[in-house]
Amino acid sequence: QKQEWAKLKDEPTKTAEGEHVELVANIGTPDDVEGVLNNGGEGVGLYRTEFLYMGKSQLPTEEEQFEAYKSVLEQMGDKPVVVRTLDIGGDKELDYLDLPHEMNPFLGYRAIRLCLERDDIFRTQLRALLRASVYGNLKIMFPMIATLEEFREAKNMLEEEKVKLAEAGTDVSDEIEVGMMVEIPATAVLARQFAKEVDFFSIGTNDLIQYTMAADRMNERVSYLYQPYNPAILNLINNVIEAAHAEGKWAGMCGEMAGDEIAIPILLGLGLDEFSMSATSILPARTQIKDLSKKELASFKEEILSMGTADEVVAFVKEKTK
Ligand code: PEP
Ligand code: MG
């Protein structure tokens, strides 16, 4: 099996009818890029930048960040690199920020909420990203967006830093796509409106599932409710993809679900454009997709979206893909 995967390492990902879909990887540090390239990744779909901030005694400087982003972009050449701005809070703490203890950290002060308030931290990161943008194919996305105002405010800050850098004579790419993660149900419901203002969506199912099912992603007692194939989740995902396409934008997914063997045929049928997963899942996924007909899977869409339970969905997909 490993041999069959290896043959596809330098091939683009194609469905049975030859349509291209993008298989990209999730990374946490510049050192992870080697694994992405060795596993035939077509890009980076999620660079979790919080590792730059964790396990230290102070905030990373603009220079440190610039070097990390530049390294990832250079190693990836012209392949796309989606960098997610700081997603701290929730389960990820930073000792030196002295964040208040909260009853519900996953519903609290985290990610873009913190960045918009602590814009000193945020603007430093944005400047480092903008300066690094000339070294590759950079796309930027904001985590945990709940409202349009948040997206607009974050994007405004990015634009302001861009103007300042340009005035100072620093080169910045003018082709940076700016998107958002869809991991809060409100944004999946309102995807039509968001799609007019973003360049792309990346669906973060790890959080989208926990917020939609009201089931903590780390809590074993309620893990039976953490259901990626629940039709409620699939309908939200479909809404996001349809909204993106209606505005001529692309939709990807960077949660664990994107690399899941049962989910892949469903997502392909819903029209997902980009699948971002751990590097070691890329070749198995490419091998699986080469035998899947996107057209046929798309014809099951309405039936799957009308189902009532996750079990029904799983049984149906197994039957149709066996
Ligand atoms: C997600 O929520 O699906 C996601 C990719 O982000 P993280 O796992 O880092 O919260
Ligand atoms: Mg998340």
Interface pTM, i.e. ipTM: 0.99
Residue 293's region, left for phi above 0, alpha for psi from -120 to 50, else beta, is beta
- Cα–Cα distances (Å) from 300 to 77, 165, 238, 249, 250, in that order, read 38, 50, 13, 23, 21
Residue 101 pLDDT: 86
Considering only CA atoms, which of 146, 141, 159, 99 is closest in space to residue 274?
141
Cβ atoms of residues 234 and 182 within 8 Å: no
Residue 158 pLDDT: 98
Helix (H, G, I), strand (E, B) or coil at 53: coil
| CA 168 to centroid of ligand 2, rounded, Å | 35
Residue 98 pLDDT: 84
Could you give the CA distance from residue 72 to residue 138 in angstroms, rounded to a whole number? 10
Tell me, using a 6 A CB cutoff, whether residue 206 lines ligand 1.
yes
Could you give the CA distance from residue 254 to residue 204 in angstroms, rounded to a whole number? 5
Ligand 1 atom at minimal distance to the Cα of residue 204: 3
Name the residue of 92, 142, 183 to mutate for ligand 1: max ligand atoms within 8 A of Cβ. Answer: 183
- Cα–Cα distances (Å) from 202 to 143, 274, 280, in that order, read 9, 8, 20
Tell me, using a 6 A CB cutoff, whether residue 204 lines ligand 1.
yes
Cβ burial, residue 317 (10 Å; 0-12/13-18/19+): buried
**Closest listed ligand to the CA of 204:** 1
Could you give the CA distance from residue 71 to residue 264 in angstroms, rounded to a whole number? 31
Tell me, using a 6 A CB cutoff, whether residue 255 lines ligand 1.
yes
- Cα–Cα distances (Å) from 269 to 15, 235, 306, in that order, read 11, 13, 14
pLDDT digits (tens, 9 = 90+) for 25-52: 999 999 999 999 999 999 999 999 999 9
| CA 18 to centroid of ligand 1, rounded, Å | 30
Residue 98's region, left for phi above 0, alpha for psi from -120 to 50, else beta, is left
Q: Give the DSSP H or E segment for 68.
A: helix 62-76
Tell me, using a 6 A CB cutoff, whether residue 45 lines ligand 1.
no
| CA 89 to centroid of ligand 1, rounded, Å | 12
Considering only CA atoms, which of 102, 85, 232 is closest in space to residue 145?
85
Residue 23 pLDDT: 98
**Closest listed ligand to the CA of 258:** 1
Tell me, using a 6 A CB cutoff, whether residue 321 lines ligand 1.
no
Tell me, using a 6 A CB cutoff, whether residue 207 lines ligand 1.
yes
The tokens describing 117, both together, are 């308030």
pLDDT beneath 50: ranges in the chain:
none
Tell me, using a 6 A CB cutoff, whether residue 185 lines ligand 1.
no
